[in-house]
């Protein structure tokens, strides 16, 4: 599920039900996530008030009034499920590893079948110093992410541009879907060596990255196999994919072009890439 637009959407949904709320209970059903839940998580949450949320790359940070922030990563299959206490079924929710309850009677559960997700505690004043955040590159939607910055990050790299954009040190928050989509919109082949994208091609690539992310956030993210949003609603950006998971379908940018064989699927560093070899060079 979750790349930047999905995490942003989930976070906004959580903020709606948790901002300003006091947490009256928390419980851990299964501690062996990617990393174990941190010591003291339940203690620090119980009785704390939620001050607000922030997103960094694909991480959510929930600030508490005691000076702690809860750092949450959804991994591949994680989602947050909010429900009213009176609606809670008696049987446990499958793969709900962590649950908190507010004074207002809302339950929020962290559901993650594959358990690639993680939760940690960090002092709010030192959030960005956390080891998982410290090495991250620029936020793609910030003004600080511009063609010059990306160009500098790509200079000298001989890895394919696809792999470079997945590297969270280059730019933070892109994943497999949005890299393919942004490269398609820029007319750049995912196979092109990263250093050769530095310079003029970044003038197209950077706006394409920002546009695809903004459009997806506006659509509530992409829902593939799982629901995305905290209220159980789904996102709709998957209906606007131009290349992702569209192998063999016609390329929108080559109408009536006999040399266009449609969207191709290749594997790069073990992950699928989708592109049109005719106009992505």
The contact set with DNA (CB under 7 A) reads 1-3, 6, 34, 57-58, 73, 75-77, 94-95, 113-116, 132, 156-160, 163, 166, 168, 175-177, 194, 221-226, 228, 269-272
Instruction: Pick between residue 6 and residue 68 the one whose CB is nearest to DNA.
Output: 6
Please state whether beta strands 59-64 and 68-73 pair in parallel, antiparallel, or not at all (unpaired).
Answer: antiparallel
Please confirm, yes or no, whether 246 is among the known catalytic residues.
no
Between 64 and 194, name the residue whose CB sits nearer to DNA: 194
Structural contact between residues 275 and 192, judged by C-beta atoms closer than 8 angstroms: no
Q: 46 or 77, CB closer to DNA?
A: 77
Whose Cβ is closer to DNA: residue 14's or residue 45's? Answer: 14
What's the min distance (Å) between Cβ of 127 and DNA?
Answer: 15
DSSP 68-126: EEEEEE-TTT-EEEEEEGGG--SSPPTTEEEEEEETTSEEEEEE-TT---EEEEEEGGG
Comparison of 11 and 228: residue with beta carbon closer to DNA = 228
Q: Residue 148: what are its φ and ψ, rounded to 5°?
A: -65, -45
Half-sphere exposure of 178 (CA within 13 A, CB side): 32
Distance CA 182, CA 196 (A): 16
Based on the residue annotation, tell me whether 271 is a catalytic residue of this protein. Answer: yes
Q: Which of 3, 6, 101, 181 is catalytic?
A: 3
> Of residues 54, 191, 271, 278, which has the active-site annotation?
271
- As measured in angstroms, the least distance from the Cβ of 231 to DNA is 15
Residue 171 beta carbon to DNA: minimum distance, rounded to whole angstroms: 11
79-84 sheet: strands from edge to edge? 23-28, 96-102, 106-111, 79-84
Q: Examine the residue annotation and report whether 58 is marked as an active-site residue of this protein.
A: yes
- Catalytic-labelled residue, pool 44, 55, 56, 58: 58
Q: How many CB atoms lie within 10 A of CB 134?
A: 9
From the CB of residue 264, how many other CB atoms can be counted at a distance below 10 Å? 17
Q: Catalytic residue at 2?
A: yes
How near is the Cβ of 116 to DNA at its closest, in Å?
Answer: 4
Helix spans in 112-175 (H): 147-154, 161-166
Shortest separation between residue 107's beta carbon and DNA, angstroms: 21
Catalytic residue annotation: 2-3, 58, 271
């Amino acid at each position: 599920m979750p790349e930047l637009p999905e995490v942003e959407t989930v976070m906004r949904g959580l903020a709606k039900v948790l901002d300003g709320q006091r947490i009256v209970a928390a419980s851990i059903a299964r501690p062996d996530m990617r990393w174990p839940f941190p010591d003291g998580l339940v203690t620090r949450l119980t009785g704390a008030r939620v001050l607000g949320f922030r997103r960094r790359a694909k991480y959510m940070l929930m600030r508490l009034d005691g000076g702690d922030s809860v750092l949450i990563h959804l991994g591949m299959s994680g989602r947050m499920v909010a429900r009213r206490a009176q609606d809670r079924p008696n049987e446990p929710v499958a793969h709900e590893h962590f649950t908190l309850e507010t004074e207002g009677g809302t339950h929020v559960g962290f559901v993650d079948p594959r358990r690639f997700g993680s939760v940690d505690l960090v002092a709010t004043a030192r959030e960005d110093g956390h080891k998982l955040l410290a090495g991250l590159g620029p936020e793609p939607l910030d003004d600080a992410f511009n063609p010059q910055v990306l160009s500098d990050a790509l200079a000298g790299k001989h890895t394919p541009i696809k792999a470079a954009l997945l590297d969270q040190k280059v730019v933070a928050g892109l994943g497999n879907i949005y890299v393919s989509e942004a490269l398609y919109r820029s007319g750049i082949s995912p196979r092109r060596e990263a250093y050769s994208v530095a310079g003029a091609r970044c003038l197209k690539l950077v706006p394409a990255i920002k546009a695809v992310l903004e459009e997806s956030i506006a659509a509530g993210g992409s829902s593939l196999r799982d629901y995305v949003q905290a209220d159980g609603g789904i996102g709709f950006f998957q209906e606007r994919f131009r290349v992702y998971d569209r192998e063999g379908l016609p390329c929108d940018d080559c109408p009536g072009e006999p040399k266009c064989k449609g969207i191709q699927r290749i594997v790069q560093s073990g992950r699928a890439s989708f592109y049109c070899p005719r106009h992505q060079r």
